[in-house]
Amino acid sequence: MGDCHYLDGNVKAEKMFQMTTELVGLLGIDVKRLRLDWVSSAEGVRFAEIAREFTEQIKTLGPSQLKQAA
């Protein structure tokens, strides 16, 4: 990695994402509710497609177990 023009921001983000994924899994939350993707500011169409795909994925998963337990 290291392609981020802010030096190492993408590397730090990936490490944080991995830790968050582990924590979410330990809490019993489906890790499919998280997503990390790399999108340039010049890729508006790609960003919109990723957002659409992720929204559909979350809708397919339905409400989280945490919300149902509350």
Long-range contacts of 2-11 (CB under 8 A, 24+ apart): 3/38, 10/38
Distance between CA atoms of 37 and 46, rounded to whole angstroms?
A: 10
* pLDDT for the residue 66: 77
* pLDDT tens digits, one per residue of 19-60: 999 999 999 999 999 999 999 889 999 999 999 999 999 999
* Helix (H), strand (E) at residue 10: helix 9-26
Supply the mean pLDDT for the chain.
Answer: 88
| Residue pair 14/27 in contact by the 8 Å Cβ criterion | no
* Helix (H), strand (E) at residue 46: helix 44-61
User: Is pLDDT above 60 for 2?
Assistant: no
